[in-house]
Structure 1
Amino acid sequence: MSIAVLLAIAVQTATLQQFTGGPLAPATTTTATAARATHPVVIAGRDDDDVWRSAPAITQFREFQPRENGDPRFATEAKVAYDDRNLYVFIRAFDPHPDSILKLLARRDVRAATDQLKIMIDSYHDRRSGFEFAVNPAGVKRDYAIYNDTQEDDAWDAVWDVATRVDSLGWTAEFRVPLSQLRYVPRDSNTFGFGIWRDIQRYTERVSWPVYRNSQTGISSQLGELRGLVGLPSPRRPELAPYVVTKNLSVPTGSEFDRSQKLTAGADVKYGITSNLTLDATVNPDFGQVEADPAVLNLTVFETFFQERRPFFVQGAGIFRFDVNCNQVNCNNEGLFYSRRVGRAPQLSFYGDAGSPVATTIYGAAKLTGRLPGGQTIGVLDAVTQRAAGTLDRTMEPTTNYVVVRGQQDFRNGESGAGIMLTGVNRNLDQWTENNLRRSAYVGAFDFRHRFLQGHYQVSGSLDFSRLAGTDSAIALTQLDPVHYYQRPGSGVSFDPTRTTLTGNAQELFFSKLGGGITRFETSYQRRSQGFEVNDLGFLLQADQQSWNTWFGLTALHPTSLYQQAWWNFNWWQYWTAAGTPVERAANTNGHVQLNNRWFVMGGVTLGQLGTT
């Protein structure tokens, strides 16, 4: 070997050690080390960049489905690198039959029946949150935000790159995730939670590093550690996205048309105050490119829930989540914050006609979200919407201010925690709206969780309070609507047409087994008083209810000669009004078996009783 080559190798090694503090540690079953890249990596689905030659390889992949902690059918190898702007991951998925790799085109965020590679990053390393970036061999991207350790938000979209290739050894994926898309606490040396999943679709096999255990709960809490991230910058992430829209309006005037131009402008702004606190703001936002809601035929008196897709509200949505009336038996997306209330369709549509606004205009909104070094998660949102007028300049929706404050504190490395939630709505009412809409609506809530016995068991709960104010006519309409039904006999409280305020409360208590062995269960008590109301900024289908729900499940995840996986569930629920009048009780049992030919066999039965009959 020539002296010049030896000198080049020595210089490269010295450069790597300068940034990492020494030789790069090899990967283990739960820890990996990232290599510092001296120049930006070219994303092409190849491992021919210099940094991939020096980055330690992650090879300790294990099967987790259908067999937990089994030997994988095919080998997988991954390497991680970084620089001042990006985190890079290269994954080689070995496959002796590349022509059998399943690759299909699909829309972004759509999970097709294909092979897949996915990286998961818990950049806060709080074992509660994180981000997922997935790709299939055809290059179709999917990304998710993880919150509360177990829940995934597929509406979250980040800016990142990936390239894939299918070759004689199998297929590869090379990821580039900008650090500006992640949230982390600035330190001299950072450690991220990190994991990689691989799906081999034709065998219905899933492998991971580190080993993921279906017998335990959680996603972020089961990730390994990515070390060696030295000297990460604190990106401010300034982003400005202005827009201008012009529209030609044609109004028939007799035998001719009166044409005029309408010009609209606005902007979205994002600024990273620190690497773990982000300020988002929008002025007169335009959501014209947001995917439309699906068509729904609703023949009930209860409102339909629609998923949030507007980018401003999707980012950091998990921070503001506070569920109400959600358990393992029944969950209908009810909660204290439903962002679709901001910019909603005018509530007094009977003042309008076919040419009236179908949505209220958002003057502006601002949001501060992030996580502090002491384990505190904060979220603050404020928005103002414009008055919407119908025919004869009658107000269909008044100028309204919305405020949300969410704070959480983790303890014991995320095993326990407590939080608060405050929401407020204030409307500028006039003669058209004061007898139909509430002037103000406030909600305050507290929640907690505590895991014990190696995290296999959990106790959690919440306590909520609500208060409405308005004219006696507006509060009377609230009492009579389907959420409350104060006029119902035997409700325990009576309809009062002279009320100008309405207060209520809600309580929830859960005890559950989350992991360990083959059994799982959850039992919960939930109660909402008749006056509890959160629909000004939240989503609630029914107040005046108390319930006891119990779920028990058996899980067999080890394949046998008869099946690959099997589940059996038992559900029992009982409902009363807040005053104790029986409403419903029922039980359900169901079973699911995946046969060795990948077919599923499922069945179940439900027995129920309404009232006391």
Structure 2
Amino acid sequence: MFVELALAFQTVVAAGPATPPREGIFVPPAPKTVPAPTARGATAMRAATPPVLDGVDSDPIWRDAPAITQFRQHDPVEDGDPRYRTEARVAYDDRYLYVFVRAFDPSPDSVMAFLSRRDARTQSDYLHLMVDSYHDKRTGFRFTVNPLGVKRDVYISNDGNEDLSWDGVWDAVTKVDEQGWTAEYRIPFSQLRFPAAEAHTFGFAIWRDIARHNERISWPLYRRTQMGFVSQWGEVDGFEGIASPRRLEVLPYSVSTDAPRPTANGYARQQTITFGADVKYGITSNLTLDATANPDFGQVEADPAVLNLGAFEQFFEERRPFFLEGAGIFNFANNLFYSRRVGRAPQLGGVYAAQDNPLNTTILGAAKITGRTASGLNVGFIDAVTQQELGADARTIEPQTNYMVLRLQQDLRQGNSGFGVMATATNRSLDADTRRFLREGAYAFGLDARHRFGENNNYQISGSAVGSHVTGSEEAIWRTQRSAVQQFQRPDSPLEVDSTRTSLSGTRFNASIGKQGGGVTRFNTGVTRISAGYEVNDAGFQPRADFTENGNWFGLNFVEPTKFYRRLFVNINQWNNWTTDGLRLNSGGNINVNGELPNQWWFWAGYNVNGIGEVYDDRVTRGGPALRRNLRQNAWLGFETDGRKPVTGTLQGFFVFKDASGSSEWGLDPEVNFRAGGSVQGSVALNYYEGVNDQQWYNNFATPGGTAYTFARLDQTTMGVTTRLDYTMTPTLSLQLYAQPFVTAGDYSELKQVVDPGAERYEDRFAPYTAATPTDFNFKQFRSNTVLRWEYRPGSVLFFVWQQGRQDDRNPGSFEFGRDYGDLFRTRSDNTFLIKASYWFSL
């Protein structure tokens, strides 16, 4: 009543004669006129009184702020009429950005919404608020909420790369009513980044997902056929008198752990308690410092089990939040920075082996600076220090190491062009235990550039150049030259091992041009050249050196629905590979198709061919001669059922046709996803593989006549089951289970050695080798992670974690489902329990 009388009084005064008021009577100023929104622009209204965050639009600011109504459908029909109306209003005060969105729906009881842990996606209706506070058309933040208040937030870089690990501190309240549902946002300006100025214009977009119709609408209209994501957002101006504070956020935490530890007499339990802290500080309005001391990653999901029989290192995704957040800015030249190197497993754990060696290297501390200046310069910097790790025999298995990464990117032409640099440095404090094996220093420096052009900037040309330099003792560099990456020792290669070298240098060049948007057609063509001495594996990830590749891609994108499909994509790829001295490594191609059917099932299929013509594999003999490759063909097929149903399924498989050696493979990957009661969701995925490989590398043996490069016939069966179960009690309290039993068994036979690696007939390349008998294997592993997560206040979380691991190798050479899985679960289990408590506060 008081608010209504005040508004009525204000209206009467405004309508009266323009005479000075009598002394002692206060007349509030007339509200500032705000222009009506357009199809791409709007103006924010300053709130004299902060709205109550309750999901209801009864506050005065929501009655006064003009409504954005020009929403358009962009999926499945681009620029189609939306099925239901949507309205949004934007307001602000000195501290917060406020947005109120009403999603009209004639059947509110049909609105789909499921509880889940934060950042997990379900088959729910969603509202996505996206803000480009830099207004650079390249970076932004996405704040997503479903009708039950489950939040997801994303940091976006490079006009489309999404960083799901970013967790801002913000609030949103949702409400389902007779008109549909609403979302009321309150986002602190401290969570956004923008330069100091009297007035600001933000890039802005609002999307709405209507799950039961699989429809997506947006303001402004987003065109799937046009290149770019952030660059297509609209604008909201009118932000005056706001300041991006120099934020100081502190997250201290403690971790209590009870874990098994191997001893000379078996195993014993070990209890520890550690303390650490994460700090986030706004150095300027544009640059943010993230620092961590004694970081803990105990609640992070375990890596999947794998048995790597190939020539190249296995790549694992980063899962640690400190390295994930803002990782997009460090993308350069195919993993020039691979954050899993920091805190890696001790490299000499197998050299100075002991039963109770540390499994990972402790990170003493790390700091990261990220941000963007008003001139469009993106900045990324990381420095981390890991401690010296000693094995049980007191020998160093990992030296103290410093990692440094610097990334700078300058945007031009409103983000449509740009150039950048990146540098990495790794410095180790070596001692007598490590100097023979590890490089002392490793450095890389690169340049990259990109340029969009043509109608709607749908074409792009890009390129990069990197130089690397590593240093170390003569023996360490000798080992580098003979590693799986370089392999200078190959007898048929012009490369030669120099045992006197104390450094090694190399280069990597890449250039490509393509059409990424506009119309139906897409294409890309590019070339990459990596010199023989290129080495960046101290801070990056590089499977091999001495490599040249030309790749070509042509695609057809049919995104307008028809009676046969909702969308359809056809792709044709072709590639050619050589060593830098011209040895032809591969020539191949594929054709694949994928799409969504009118019943909202997805499907995909393809055919692949490799080894066309006379081509060789120069890595398969692990330092021996290049071995001629066989023509290899494979096909795949899969489908996924309608995701709106409470139980959905995926089934995909592949088949490798028998080649000249008699080798063939096949695999099947079914998966079932389910939801129950709105708060339980899970999945069970099976991965099954059978294969016969007649030329599986086995070992290289020294003989009086030289090295024998041996291969064998390998019959292998692999089966893994991955189970995930999430029970969400409230948007801030959830229980998560991950479990994966994994078994792979291999039977070696017909051991043979290479005698004529380039022979045209497969049978002429080998001769029987009888001086050794191959050893079969049966590798079993179980990993599980159970996490109870409670965000008891915004940004502050309590974790209860139970991790279990099992491993067994009985019955080598044969696979039996019941026996092998029974053996795995009858073996001794390693159980680790930990409690982690963190408390977020801001100064």
TM-score (norm 2): 0.68
**SS of equivalent to 1:124:** coil
Once the two structures are TM-superposed, the CA of residue 601 in structure 1 deviates from its matched residue by 4.0
1:580 equivalent among 573, 582, 599: 582
Q: Residue in 2 aligned with 1:437?
A: 438
Report the Cα distance in structure 2 between the residues aligned to 1:437 and 1:256, rounded to whole angstroms. Answer: 32
Q: Is 241-250 or 386-395 further displaced after alignment?
A: 241-250
- Residues 44-55 of structure 1: pairs in structure 2 closer than 5 A: 44-55=54-65
Report the Cα distance in structure 1 between the residues aligned to 2:546 and 2:30, rounded to whole angstroms. Answer: 64
Q: Is 286-295 or 242-251 further displaced after alignment?
A: 242-251
Q: Residue in 2 aligned with 1:314?
A: 324
Q: Residue in 1 aligned with 2:614?
A: 612
Q: Which deviations, in whole Å up to 9, do the C-alpha atoms of 1:231-285 show, x marking residues without a partner?
A: 1112111112223445679989999999997553332221111221111222222
Q: Residue in 2 aligned with 1:479?
A: 481
CA contact (8 A) 1:155 1:308 kept: no
Once the two structures are TM-superposed, the CA of residue 42 in structure 1 deviates from its matched residue by 3.0
Q: Residue in 2 aligned with 1:327?
A: none
Q: Residue in 2 aligned with 1:329?
A: none
Q: Residue in 1 aligned with 2:422?
A: 421
Q: Residue in 2 aligned with 1:397?
A: 398
- Residues 453-472 of structure 1: pairs in structure 2 closer than 5 A: 453-454=454-455, 455-472=457-474
Q: Residue in 2 aligned with 1:110?
A: 120
Matched AA of 1:209: W
1:596 equivalent among 580, 595, 598: 598
Matched AA of 1:502: L
Report the Cα distance in structure 2 between the residues aligned to 1:93 and 1:252, rounded to whole angstroms. Answer: 58
- Shift in CA distance, 16/437, structure 1 to aligned 2, threshold 3 Å: farther
- Shift in CA distance, 81/360, structure 1 to aligned 2, threshold 3 Å: same
CA contact (8 A) 2:261 2:356 kept: no
Q: Residue in 2 aligned with 1:330?
A: none
Report the Cα distance in structure 2 between the residues aligned to 1:143 and 1:579, rounded to whole angstroms. Answer: 48
2:191 equivalent among 175, 178, 181: 181
Report the Cα distance in structure 1 between the residues aligned to 2:417 and 2:269, rounded to whole angstroms. Answer: 62
Report the Cα distance in structure 2 between the residues aligned to 1:298 and 1:101, rounded to whole angstroms. Answer: 46
Q: In the alignment, is residue 290 of structure 1 matched against residue 300 of structure 2?
A: yes
CA contact (8 A) 2:263 2:356 kept: no
Matched AA of 1:38: A
Report the Cα distance in structure 1 between the residues aligned to 2:261 and 2:34, rounded to whole angstroms. Answer: 70
Report the Cα distance in structure 1 between the residues aligned to 2:264 and 2:545, rounded to whole angstroms. Answer: 52
Q: Is 211-220 or 576-585 further displaced after alignment?
A: 576-585
Q: Residue in 1 aligned with 2:547?
A: 545
- How many aligned residue pairs are there? 599
1:196 equivalent among 206, 230, 238: 206
Q: In the alignment, is residue 349 of structure 1 matched against residue 349 of structure 2?
A: yes
Q: Residue in 2 aligned with 1:212?
A: 222
- Residues 119-158 of structure 1: pairs in structure 2 closer than 5 A: 119-158=129-168
Q: Which deviations, in whole Å up to 9, do the C-alpha atoms of 1:87-116 show, x marking residues without a partner?
A: 222211111122222222233222222222
**SS of equivalent to 1:605:** strand
**SS of equivalent to 2:393:** helix
CA contact (8 A) 2:206 2:220 kept: yes
CA contact (8 A) 1:194 1:224 kept: yes
Q: Is 478-487 or 367-376 further displaced after alignment?
A: 478-487
Q: Residue in 2 aligned with 1:338?
A: 338
Percent of residue pairs bearing the same amino acid type:
52
Report the Cα distance in structure 2 between the residues aligned to 1:126 and 1:249, rounded to whole angstroms. Answer: 48
Matched AA of 2:339: S
Report the Cα distance in structure 1 between the residues aligned to 2:78 and 2:57, rounded to whole angstroms. Answer: 30
Matched AA of 1:40: P
Report the Cα distance in structure 1 between the residues aligned to 2:213 and 2:268, rounded to whole angstroms. Answer: 64
Report the Cα distance in structure 1 between the residues aligned to 2:500 and 2:10, rounded to whole angstroms. Answer: 86
Report the Cα distance in structure 2 between the residues aligned to 1:261 and 1:294, rounded to whole angstroms. Answer: 26
Q: Residue in 1 aligned with 2:709?
A: none
Once the two structures are TM-superposed, the CA of residue 225 in structure 1 deviates from its matched residue by 0.5
Report the Cα distance in structure 2 between the residues aligned to 1:58 and 1:13, rounded to whole angstroms. Answer: 30
**SS of equivalent to 2:109:** helix
Report the Cα distance in structure 2 between the residues aligned to 1:587 and 1:461, rounded to whole angstroms. Answer: 23
Report the Cα distance in structure 1 between the residues aligned to 2:319 and 2:263, rounded to whole angstroms. Answer: 38
**SS of equivalent to 1:74:** coil
- Shift in CA distance, 256/100, structure 1 to aligned 2, threshold 3 Å: closer
Once the two structures are TM-superposed, the CA of residue 593 in structure 1 deviates from its matched residue by 3.5
CA contact (8 A) 1:63 1:208 kept: yes
- Residues 226-241 of structure 1: pairs in structure 2 closer than 5 A: 226-241=236-251
Q: Is 6-15 or 251-260 further displaced after alignment?
A: 251-260
Q: Residue in 1 aligned with 2:44?
A: 34
Matched AA of 1:500: T
- Residues 489-508 of structure 1: pairs in structure 2 closer than 5 A: 489-508=491-510
Report the Cα distance in structure 1 between the residues aligned to 2:413 and 2:399, rounded to whole angstroms. Answer: 46
**SS of equivalent to 2:478:** helix
Once the two structures are TM-superposed, the CA of residue 387 in structure 1 deviates from its matched residue by 0.4
Report the Cα distance in structure 2 between the residues aligned to 1:257 and 1:110, rounded to whole angstroms. Answer: 37
Report the Cα distance in structure 2 between the residues aligned to 1:317 and 1:251, rounded to whole angstroms. Answer: 34
Q: Is 191-200 or 265-274 further displaced after alignment?
A: 265-274
Q: Which deviations, in whole Å up to 9, do the C-alpha atoms of 1:5-52 show, x marking residues without a partner?
A: 4334679996684xxxx3111111001222222333333222222221
**SS of equivalent to 1:240:** strand
CA contact (8 A) 2:343 2:361 kept: yes
CA contact (8 A) 2:365 2:385 kept: yes
Report the Cα distance in structure 2 between the residues aligned to 1:206 and 1:13, rounded to whole angstroms. Answer: 46
Report the Cα distance in structure 2 between the residues aligned to 1:354 and 1:43, rounded to whole angstroms. Answer: 57
**SS of equivalent to 1:173:** strand
Once the two structures are TM-superposed, the CA of residue 543 in structure 1 deviates from its matched residue by 1.7
Report the Cα distance in structure 2 between the residues aligned to 1:4 and 1:593, rounded to whole angstroms. Answer: 58
Report the Cα distance in structure 2 between the residues aligned to 1:110 and 1:249, rounded to whole angstroms. Answer: 29
**SS of equivalent to 1:7:** helix
Report the Cα distance in structure 1 between the residues aligned to 2:402 and 2:349, rounded to whole angstroms. Answer: 20
Q: Residue in 2 aligned with 1:566?
A: 568
Q: Residue in 1 aligned with 2:380?
A: 379
Q: In the alignment, is residue 368 of structure 1 matched against residue 378 of structure 2?
A: no
Q: In the alignment, is residue 89 of structure 1 matched against residue 99 of structure 2?
A: yes
CA contact (8 A) 1:586 1:609 kept: yes
CA contact (8 A) 1:352 1:389 kept: no
Q: Which deviations, in whole Å up to 9, do the C-alpha atoms of 1:178-220 show, x marking residues without a partner?
A: 2222111111111111111111122221111100001111111
- Shift in CA distance, 227/310, structure 1 to aligned 2, threshold 3 Å: same
CA contact (8 A) 1:16 1:35 kept: no
Report the Cα distance in structure 1 between the residues aligned to 2:390 and 2:322, rounded to whole angstroms. Answer: 25
Q: Residue in 2 aligned with 1:222?
A: 232
CA contact (8 A) 2:192 2:244 kept: no
**SS of equivalent to 1:349:** coil
Q: Which deviations, in whole Å up to 9, do the C-alpha atoms of 1:337-388 show, x marking residues without a partner?
A: 1122112221111224343222212222222221111111112221111101
Report the Cα distance in structure 1 between the residues aligned to 2:136 and 2:221, rounded to whole angstroms. Answer: 19
Q: In the alignment, is residue 532 of structure 1 matched against residue 542 of structure 2?
A: no
Matched AA of 1:130: G
Q: In the alignment, is residue 268 of structure 1 matched against residue 278 of structure 2?
A: yes
- Shift in CA distance, 29/16, structure 1 to aligned 2, threshold 3 Å: farther
Bigger Rg over Cα: 2
CA contact (8 A) 1:451 1:458 kept: yes
Report the Cα distance in structure 2 between the residues aligned to 1:27 and 1:160, rounded to whole angstroms. Answer: 25
1:163 equivalent among 155, 173, 176: 173
Once the two structures are TM-superposed, the CA of residue 157 in structure 1 deviates from its matched residue by 2.0
**SS of equivalent to 2:8:** helix
**SS of equivalent to 2:63:** helix
- Across the aligned residues of Structure 1 and Structure 2, the Cα RMSD in angstroms comes to 2.6
Query: Tell me, which stretches of 5 or more residues in structure 2 are unaligned?
Result: 15-25, 616-843
2:77 equivalent among 64, 67, 77: 67
Name the one with the larger strand percent.
2
- Shift in CA distance, 562/486, structure 1 to aligned 2, threshold 3 Å: same
Q: In the alignment, is residue 451 of structure 1 matched against residue 461 of structure 2?
A: no
Matched AA of 1:549: G
